[in-house]
Amino acid sequence: MDKAADANGAEEAQRILDLEVPSSRRTLGPALAQAFRWLGIAFVAFHLWVLLVHPIDPTVGRPVHVYVGAIIGLGLFAASHRARLDRIAWYDWMMMAACVGIVAHYALDADGIEMRAFLGPNWRDTIVGVAAIAVLLEFTRRTAGIAMPIIALVFISYIFLGPWLPGALYHTGVPWREAVNFLAGMEGIFGITTSVSATFIIMFVTFAAFLQTSKAGDFFNDLAMGLVGWARGGPAKVAVVSSSMFGAVSGSSVANVVASGTFTIPMMKRAGYDADTAGAVEATASTGGQLAPPVMGAGAFIMAEVLGVPYQEILIAGIIPALLYYVACYSHADLHALKAGLRGLPLSELPSLPKLMLRAYLFAPLVILIAVLLSGYSPFRAAGLGIAATVVIMFATFLAHRVFIARENPLAALAGSLWQLWLAICEALAGGSREALQLIAVCATAGIVAGVIGLTGIGGRFATILLELGGAVPILALTFAAVVALILGMGVPTTAAYAIAAAVVAPGLIRMGIQPLVAHMFIFYYAVLSAITPPVALASFAAAGLARGSLWGTSLTALKFGMATFLVPYMFYLNPVLLAQGALTDILQALATGVIGVVLLACATEGYLGGRLPLALRLVTGLAAVLCIIPEGLTDLAGVAVGVAIYGWQRWSARGTPALAQGNGKGGD
């Protein structure tokens, strides 16, 4: 019964996600399915070769990256639910042929294209440029939904409508052929966002695919069960811990929900959580994975390129904000369990930690990746070594099983293990190509938006508007930037939402005197939070499908569970040492008060601190949280003192009254 319900939930999740992406994955016949599978394998292998062994000119590599990816995407995804899913339509074959022509144009005439960038395009450039833009928008619609192409079309329209618009939106206009050539060139589609996609993102997505193939995801779930499954509200805490580990190498909050939620959501429901709450916990926890180093949902790679800083600096800066996010999630899970009297899982259902440690080698690739990154090596080398370590671990696991469990003779075991390894590598490469498609599409489309901003100068005018809006109060400008990031993130993957919001509002924040890293991290954080922000909360929608809950109920509950996290960006604006920008003692002090602040805010949101809080005390607890967030010694002390006083008052007032169930008697916080 439970397995059937879980399967139905997974189908419902896919149905809901399909509503957001108005195309549908094809179920092709064996020959075509294998053809596209091997094309995907070759596609990722080509990138590994180019990035690790033999670099090629970006003017050739980036078109191959986008438009061979588009061929795979157009083959795997039909135009709509109404299209036949067992065959490829004639217009899809035409678009694939156009992709081949586009790649050939850029690869065979790279020098001529570069020269004509100064002399003016010929008609062949224009025709190819129009085709490149049109095919890309359709590729993006099929893999990422309609929102991103609409945003791109609005910006493209601005090129031609600008001369008739009033005020700050006015520009003198750009000839249409010049605009097409610009947008289909190295300042548009093949600009900085595609550069990041073709290098950092494809490498780390491939690493994540290898890690999943090695069954590391199962280990993450089991480890989370062993660590916190026994605590009160154990299933929800398992969701928080496992999602933080898996999300650290996942490029998508929705992918994280589906990968982790198929395990954690049914477990939460069996433990007494209602469908909306179970889905909300998973959505909130999975969304935080995009803030967690080392991958940070791929947006961090774009941030490093835009800021011109080593990726290691972004990685280190992201540690404390991610930690505060998960402290808030864990606090909400614990407080909800206290209020509802939810117990932990029986010890008989939990894996043994000593036995789990026998599988700790599955952590080795992630440890190697982080260690190499922090040692100052390039992200390419770090990801490459992580992939190599995963391959070695898979081979050793296959060989050990055949020799010590199956008792095969050494030669047969070696041959069988090598064959298993080959199959696993192919599966990882194919999985990497599938997972990369959406990121490739949205990064290239974000390049169109960035190209329009550069071509028309609208970015500078947005900065002026932001300065006028914020005036002498940067908090107002930051709030406007947060709203922009949240709106752009509605139905749009985080990477694209961040890239567009950063291009539009980050320059204005920086001109106001806000540190560039703070401005970009602020925008990135809210772009991530858009996944749990109604009315279009993609992570919440996916979790609602798995939990068989309501879209609005799950989305609003996820918003409540994530409420404490919405103040974290203001915390590192007010106190940049939270981005590891300062002395160690200052960082530790800011971290301590930040943790207290988000815990108190979670208490205010949940209405529980040493007992149920009446409305007045909830407001005072929220005020105490804000005092802890303000980076002043006196306000920190005042916030802590108020929090302790409320807790003491609640405990004193509860003397002689029946206590709420406190979990399973094992402590559990």
Closest CA to 195 of 446, 464, 11: 446
Per-residue pLDDT tens digits for 543-602? 998 888 888 999 999 998 888 889 899 999 999 999 988 888 989 999 999 999 999 999
Answer left, alpha or beta for residue 310, where phi above 0 means left and psi between -120 and 50 means alpha: beta
**More confidently predicted of 317 and 114:** 317
Band of the pLDDT at 519, cuts 50, 70, 90?
very high
The structure's pTM equals: 0.87
3-class DSSP assignment, residue 642: helix
Other residues' Cβ atoms within 10 Å of the Cβ of residue 607:
16
pLDDT of 660 reads 46
What is the DSSP secondary-structure string of 568-584?
HHHHHHH-GGGGT-S-H
Q: How far apart are CA 233 and CA 669, in angstroms?
A: 9
Q: How far apart are CA 249 and CA 352, in angstroms?
A: 25
Cα–Cα separations (whole angstroms), residue 587 to 288, 327, 583, 584, 601: 21, 17, 6, 5, 21
pLDDT of 656 reads 58
Q: Which residues touch 50 (CB under 8 Å, ≥6 apart)?
A: 56, 61
Q: Among 64-73, 512-521, 652-661, which range has the highest average pLDDT?
A: 64-73
pLDDT of 375 reads 86
What share of the chain has pLDDT > 70, as a percent? 93
Block residue for tokens 């939402």: 497
Other residues' Cβ atoms within 10 Å of the Cβ of residue 545:
28
pLDDT of 38 reads 97
Cα–Cα separations (whole angstroms), residue 532 to 96, 563, 569: 35, 10, 16
Mean pLDDT lowest among 197-201, 208-212, 235-239, 289-293: 289-293
Give me the mean pLDDT over the 638-648 stretch.
92
Band of the pLDDT at 25, cuts 50, 70, 90?
confident
Q: How far apart are CA 238 and CA 374, in angstroms?
A: 28
Would you say 598 and 327 are in contact if contact means Cβ atoms under 8 Å apart?
Answer: yes
Question: Taking the alpha carbons of 503, 504, 510, 515 in that order, is the dihedral positive or negative?
Answer: negative
Band of the pLDDT at 471, cuts 50, 70, 90?
low
Q: Quick one: how far is CA 439 from the chain centroid?
A: 10
Greatest alpha-carbon span in the chain: 87
Block residue for tokens 């090598």: 418
Mean pLDDT lowest among 74-78, 168-172, 398-402: 168-172
Per-residue pLDDT tens digits for 122-158? 888 899 999 999 999 999 999 988 889 999 999 999 9
Residue 539 has pLDDT above 70, yes or no: yes
Q: How far apart are CA 613 and CA 606, in angstroms?
A: 9
Cα–Cα separations (whole angstroms), residue 426 to 275, 432, 492: 37, 10, 30
pLDDT of 632 reads 81
Domain locations in the chain as residue ranges: 25-144+174-203+365-452, 582-653
pLDDT of 433 reads 94
Per-residue pLDDT tens digits for 329-367? 999 999 988 888 888 888 888 888 888 888 889 889 999
Mean pLDDT of the residues in the chain: 87
Residue 74 has pLDDT above 90, yes or no: yes
pLDDT of 472 reads 64
Band of the pLDDT at 488, cuts 50, 70, 90?
confident
Could you tell me the two tokens for 85?
């899913």
Burial status of residue 171 (CB atoms within 10 A of its CB: 0-12, 13-18, 19 or more): middle
Angle, in degrees to the nearest 10, between helices 30-52 and 410-456? 80
pLDDT of 395 reads 96
